[in-house]
């Protein structure tokens, strides 16, 4: 997925807490072999605190790569070759300066065009919500000054059927395979009240990332008119996710689609004759607004939990990036289904390129498979439902009925 693909190898270590093995070339291999659990503990205990999780999760992988530094290599080279390598390093420094200039100009250009896009998105939102009608053409049949949907909306109050384009965003999201996997039958009715999705980068000065805004009509499911999801990035180019935050949904009584309420009859002979009520988490699109939390206590993290957290964070980010980069800009093509073919064509091109690469060297593939099996962190390739994936051996969350 273009910019999203890097998150799988993502969460690379870029902070001091997980790079102990490259700082001192005299460290022997035994001292440099820091496992994932120890790396996580160091990250939580270090000055970067919770933001060190991205570095910590990849710490175990860092210990698998070679540890000799560039300076060690230079010392072994003949003087003429060493001078040439130093010249190459100077050229690399000049390249990095130009790259930094490119990224700065790119950010300015993106900001310029985001401002130019906004009037188009505002008009789209007004048409979808029924606040304005589309512009007529000479071939159109005459229409009343107010569209029927707008008149009925005034008479009956806000309704998902009394808008300009009913179920616009629900249909658009369901036409994307990844998003469709997250939407359950119970979610569809409240999502019919969704009339706009926006994206911006207004997270605060010098804060990298983006925020999604979901605008809803008044509805019987929750009192929030806007739900937001924010992604805070360590690095946007790779990308490297630091954390995600979502809106707390104020559910109306008995309308929460993210939980299942179980009632069990008391055992025979029990003094308590009332049914026992138990609430269980279940799959729902609205779990998107409850992203995974990083435990405060470093003792709560082990290898398996670190791996699970990385997988869940990757899947959560992928869902947000799909909305921001694909669905929001071209929403009408996802609503009509035109974008499905375009997306399939892109995937086929990517698959063809991967097939060509895989055919080059079978031995390299075997080595990679061995590395994946021995790696303490395996990457997730597909989206998952809900705020967390069940650990191995655990039962999948049950499908729940609307309460």
> Which residues, in sequence order, are CB contacts of 357 under 8 Å at separation 6+?
none
Q: What b/e sequence results for 30-46 when a residue is b if at least 16 CB atoms lie within 10 Å of its CB, and e otherwise?
A: eeeebebbebbbbbbeb
Beta strands 276-281; 240-246: pairing state: unpaired
Determine the distance from the C-alpha atom of residue 266 to the mean position of all C-alpha atoms in its chain, rounded to a whole number. Answer: 43
**pLDDT value for 34:** 46
The predicted structure's pLDDT at residue 262: 80
Using left for φ > 0, alpha for ψ between -120 and 50, and beta otherwise, residue 358 falls in alpha
End-to-end CA gap in the chain: 37
Question: Do the beta carbons of residue 164 and residue 129 sit within 8 Å?
Answer: yes
The confidence score (pLDDT) of residue 10 equals 40
What is the C-alpha to C-alpha distance for residues 183 and 171, in angstroms, rounded to an integer? 11
**Where are any strands of DSSP class E within 226-378?**
226-235, 240-246, 259-264, 276-281
Structure tokens at 347: 């995937």
* CA separation for the pair 165, 123 (Å, rounded): 13
**Predicted local distance difference test score (pLDDT) of residue 160:** 83
CA atoms within 13 A on the CB side of 64: 14
Residue 280 near residue 398 (C-beta atoms within 8 A): yes
The pLDDT, as a whole number, for residue 178 is 96
Residues near 385 by Cβ (< 8 Å), separated by ≥ 6? 181, 182, 283, 284, 287
Residue-level pLDDT at 120:
96
Residue 292 tokens read as: 């995974």
Residues of the chain with pLDDT under 70: 1-71, 136-158, 269, 273, 296-300, 344-403
165-222 pLDDT, tens digit per residue, is 999 999 999 999 999 999 999 999 999 999 999 999 888 877 889 999 999 999 999 9
What's the pTM? 0.66
Q: pLDDT tens across 128-173, in order?
A: 999 988 775 555 554 444 444 444 434 445 678 889 999 999 999 9
- pLDDT score at 136: 57
How far is the C-alpha of 316 from the C-alpha of 182, rounded, in Å? 11
**pLDDT given for residue 205 in this prediction:** 79
- Cα 338 to Cα 176: distance, rounded to the nearest angstrom: 11
Cis ω on the peptide bond leading into residue 27 (within 30° of 0)? no
Is the four-CA dihedral 240, 41, 17, 21 of positive or negative sign? negative
């Amino acid at each position: 997925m273009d910019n999203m693909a890097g998150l799988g190898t993502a969460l690379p270590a870029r902070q001091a807490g997980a790079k102990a093995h490259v700082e001192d070339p005299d460290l022997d291999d035994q001292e440099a072999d820091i496992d994932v659990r120890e790396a996580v503990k160091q990250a939580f205990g270090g000055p970067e605190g919770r933001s060190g999780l991205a570095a910590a999760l990849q710490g175990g992988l860092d210990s698998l790569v070679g540890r000799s530094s560039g300076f060690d290599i230079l010392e072994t080279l003949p003087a003429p070759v060493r001078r040439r390598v130093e010249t190459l390093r100077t050229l690399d420094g000049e390249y990095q300066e130009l790259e930094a200039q490119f990224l700065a100009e790119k950010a300015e250009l993106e900001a310029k065009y985001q401002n130019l896009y906004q009037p188009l998105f505002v008009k789209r939102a007004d048409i979808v919500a029924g606040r304005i009608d589309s512009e007529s053409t000479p071939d159109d049949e005459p229409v009343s000054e107010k569209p029927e949907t707008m008149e009925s909306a005034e008479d009956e109050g806000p309704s998902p059927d009394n808008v300009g384009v009913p179920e616009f965003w629900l249909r658009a999201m369901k036409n994307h395979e990844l998003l469709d996997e997250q939407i359950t039958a119970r979610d569809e009715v409240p999502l019919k009240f969704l009339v706009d999705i926006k994206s911006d980068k207004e997270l605060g000065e010098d804060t990298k990332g983006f925020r999604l805004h979901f605008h809803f009509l008044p509805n019987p499911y929750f009192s929030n008119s806007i739900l937001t999801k924010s992604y805070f990035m360590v690095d946007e180019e790779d990308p490297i996710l630091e954390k995600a935050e979502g809106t707390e949904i104020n559910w109306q009584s008995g309308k929460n689609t993210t939980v299942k309420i179980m009632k069990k009859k008391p055992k025979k002979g029990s003094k308590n004759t009332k049914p026992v009520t138990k609430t269980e988490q279940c799959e729902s699109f609205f779990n998107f607004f409850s992203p995974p939390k990083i435990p405060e206590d470093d003792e709560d993290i082990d290898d398996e939990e670190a791996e699970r957290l990385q997988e869940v964070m990757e899947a959560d980010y992928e869902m947000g990036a799909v909305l921001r980069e694909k669905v929001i800009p071209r929403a009408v093509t996802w609503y009509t289904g035109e974008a499905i073919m375009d997306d399939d064509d892109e995937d086929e091109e990517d698959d063809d390129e991967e097939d060509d690469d895989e055919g080059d060297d079978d031995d390299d593939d075997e080595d990679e498979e061995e590395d994946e099996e021995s790696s303490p962190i395996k990457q997730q390739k597909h989206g998952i439902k809900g705020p967390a994936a069940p650990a191995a051996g655990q039962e999948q969350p049950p499908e729940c009925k609307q309460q």
